C-alpha cells in the first residue's frame, strides 16, 4: 500500500488554503493512500491491443459566429468601483507566490 505522508497532507492543505487538524490529517492520509492504491491498479491492465479513443458519440461542438457588440470603455466599466488601481479593479490576493 502506498502511504501518503502527513507532511504531504499538510502541504496539500496549505496549497488549498484550508486548515486541518491532526485527526483530519490522519484520516486524509489513509483515504488518499487508498485512492492512490486504487488508481495504481490501472498499471496492471493490459492495454497493448487497446485502440485509442477520443470520440465515441460522433457529436461535434456547435458554436455561433462571433457577433460584434458594443463594449464598455474601461472608465465606464470600473467607474462605479471604490477599489481601483491604475485603471483596473483591485481585488484580494487569491494565489500566494510560494517557492516550492
- pLDDT category of residue 14 using cuts at 50, 70 and 90: very high
Within-domain flag for 66: no
At 84, list the grid cell. 481601483
Within-domain flag for 7: yes
> In which domain, by residue range, is 2 found?
1-43
Can you give the CATH number for the domain in which 4 is found? Answer: 1.10.20
Instruction: State the average pLDDT for the chain.
Output: 88
Within-domain flag for 97: no
Q: How many CB atoms lie within 10 A of CB 83?
A: 10
Residue 96 has pLDDT above 80, yes or no: no
Within-domain flag for 9: yes
First-to-last CA distance in the chain? 27
Task: Judge contact between 37 and 29, C-beta under 8 A.
Answer: no
**What pLDDT sits at residue 66?**
76
Within-domain flag for 71: no
Within-domain flag for 67: no
Task: Judge contact between 33 and 1, C-beta under 8 A.
Answer: yes
CA–CA dist 66, 64 (Å, integer): 6
pLDDT over 90 for what percent of the chain?
42
How many structural domains comprise the chain? 1
**What pLDDT sits at residue 38?**
92
Amino acid at each position: 500500500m502506498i502511504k501518503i505522508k502527513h507532511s504531504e497532507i499538510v502541504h496539500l492543505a496549505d496549497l488549498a488554503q484550508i486548515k486541518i487538524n491532526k485527526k483530519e490529517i490522519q484520516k486524509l492520509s489513509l483515504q488518499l493512500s487508498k485512492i492512490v492504491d486504487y488508481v495504481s491498479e490501472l498499471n496492471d491492465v493490459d492495454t497493448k491491443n487497446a485502440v485509442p479513443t477520443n470520440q465515441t458519440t460522433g457529436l461535434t461542438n456547435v458554436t455561433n459566429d462571433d457577433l460584434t457588440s458594443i463594449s464598455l470603455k474601461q472608465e465606464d466599466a470600473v467607474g462605479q468601483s471604490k477599489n481601483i488601481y491604475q485603471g483596473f479593479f483591485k481585488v484580494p490576493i487569491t494565489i500566494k507566490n510560494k517557492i516550492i
